[in-house]
Chains A and B, each alone.
Chain A
Amino acid sequence: MSTPAEVLPDIELVEGRSLWQDAMRRMLRNRAAMVSSFLLLALLITVTVGPWISGYEYDQLDWDHIWEPPAMETGHWLGTDSLGRDLFVRICQGGRISLMVGIVSTIVSLLIGVSWGAIAGYFGGRVDAIMMRIVDILYAMPFLFFVILLMVFFGRHILLIFIAIGMVNWLDMARIVRGQTLSIKNKEFIEAAWMAGASNRRVIYRHIIPNLMGVVAVYVTLTIPQVILVESFLSFLGLGVQEPATSWGALVNEGAQEMERAPWLLIFPASCLALTLFCFNFIGDGLRDALDPKDR
């Protein structure tokens, strides 16, 4: 006759799974998102170490090889432009700038948007009404026009690009975070936490913020491609990054002007840009499905 204590060790304890473990599991099963992550990582590594392997500089002129189509022998793997600059290295350099703008500007909009939305949602009442009215008014503004004006009239500094683009994108973030805070505040598990005697601080850190993070993470992955898009839009109009530095938008613009003569100048940067946006969108989608499994 065995005592319960002898039986118990054989029973496997069911371990609780956190939201993030669950999400991780679902994310790993999402093939499109995993392939996209892998591609993006590969792109990131290429962009980082590419110039170093190639041996050319992004602003190095090679007068013996102008308008060269892609060729392995000369070391200009993706060809050269009208000044003999190596396209591969320029794509890497442009990619660094595009990705950096994407990430930094997203952080700017993240900081503004999350604090704005969380404050409005948490305090509610008149504070909420006023703050959200401001967001509504700003929403109706043709913002990109403002960014264009900023760039035209105040010079084309890269810091200005970061700030201008970040300022544009925080509105959505603020709205989403506010809505989420409002609904989380009224959930039963918050009430339960209160009942269990959790402090204000504990409720915020253990219950509200972790539940916000899912939405924010999804939104961040979806904002980065938007920001890259805006930056390349500005660069395409000639208002973004200035020569000899470059970005994918600027490269597409140059390529578009020379496409009859040197189609590779258009095709390669355009593909890189589209591929990056494609991957970010798929990852964002995958994250959303992973963190918000209502369709299952």
Chain B
Amino acid sequence: MQNTLQQQQKDVLLTQTEEISGSEAVLKAFIEEGVDTIFGYPGGAIMPIYDALFDFDNKLKHILVRHEQGSIHAAQGYARTSGKTGVVFATSGPGATNLVTGLADAQIDSTPIVCITGQVFAHLLGTDAFQETDIINITTPVTKWNYQITDASEIPAVLAKAFFIAGSGRPGPVLIDITKNAQLQKFQFGGYQKCNFIRSYRPKPVVRKEYIEKAASLINSAKKPFVIFGQGVILGKAEKEFKAFIEKTGIPAAWTIMGLSALPSDHPLGVGMLGMHGNYAPNVLTNECDVLIAVGMRFDDRVTGRLDKYARQAKIIHLDIDPAEIDKNVKTTVAVWGDCKETLPLLTELTENKVYPQWLQRFKELEQDEIDACIYDELHPKTEQMTMGEVIDVLNELTNAQAVIVTDVGQHQMVACRYAKFKESKSNITSGGLGTMGFALPAAIGAKLGAPGRTVVAIIGDGGFQMTIQELGTIMQCNIDVKLLILNNQFLGMVRQWQELFHSKRYSFVNIESPDFVQVAKGYRIQGKSISKREELKNSLREMLEYKGSYLLEVMVGKENNVFPMVEAGSSVSDIRLK
């Protein structure tokens, strides 16, 4: 009896399976995972997947980039504004190796990405075949997980695992390498099942009440508590919980560059940005607070400055989802492991309703010092040439702080992150950890596709723009409505600033020449304009924002302006210099 029943079930199962190719299985998996956009570039070893994609045209939008690095940065931008996993296709060999920078960027900035790379036929592995490269071993240090598929029947389960790993816990990039034979091979497909458990993988540590209690009592007894927060708040979708926590406890909060926009810029308890070019008050007062509460941040060296002089006087509470971050750089007094979406409300419940008027006043005083020493001059310069800060300031006014701001790397990035205002979360897209020049242009493409209803402004330097300038072709072909704002100081400005300050003004190879960006854009059928006079600024920015479609505005700014304040490398955060 039992046997017949099992046999019947088996028969049912068999009739439910269908024979499909590995390539189709990949695309079916994407649809089940809610993927709507793929960023990619075809090539020999991924042709079967592209062939199958031809029939999925109505369900999956494919964005043809101009270089594989562009595809992964675009996927990162998409992931960061949409909160979903970004998806990339690339071929074997050079296609795959061109992803490495983006993988490293996504790994250090915890961005959920699934990359599918084609690979040579399984029987050719290890023979130095045409466009064969050992991409699994090349990408091992820069992926959260990677796996090579040589048999089509593995595809559904492996892809399910890939999406689960990329998007859960502390997110990160996953690379799946699929040999060409597996893409072509037909197999019995029994349906797709999402993965939500891997026995060796613990996306979220179990929250332990006793640590929450200890943290709460420490917070309740504090006289000068200070909250610092990072992207963990955004990744954990815990913006509301975070706001509730600081509002109840009355604790001033500063963001890291990656945490920027998780809290509205005008929040009364928001006291600015931490780090090397962050604000004066939060850096100085890190070394004055008595309890430092770090939420979803990893004490990067650009935030801490010299470690042996970092918050030595304070008791430290660290909330993080990744156990490896606890005590990695800064010794914790109380570690609260877990997803801050879960831990913050528990902590809020146990903390007392408080205000710290005197302590907040300290922040205000130091903020005034910073305004007097550098902010005022940056925003209201007496120089003939424009400053980057005043451009951002006018932009804030015109966008009403509601745009997604994508930045590249360098001086303009620091200035934009210092002065850009935000009302909504997931609005600041930048390469924080890896510092990848060339990130912004492709990331802005993805950011727009991830948040189609929002205005996306990519702020880019003249150096970084030339690193991925070919993606103008993607903007042209796919009609992506992004605003490109080039802040051109005719230098590789950040390196020049360091050469000025620390290398006796020996300007070694920072004098970069640029093409006529407006003409280049024109070649790609993108509208553009270049300005160098202050009187033109507001109208030109307005014109850019109001233009239907992509637009490039180049603003010529002061050549040798520096970004201040600055915590010099090897200095303590409280020794931050104002000029």
> A and B: partners?
no
Residues of B within 8 A of A (CB): none
Residues of A within 8 A of B (CB): none
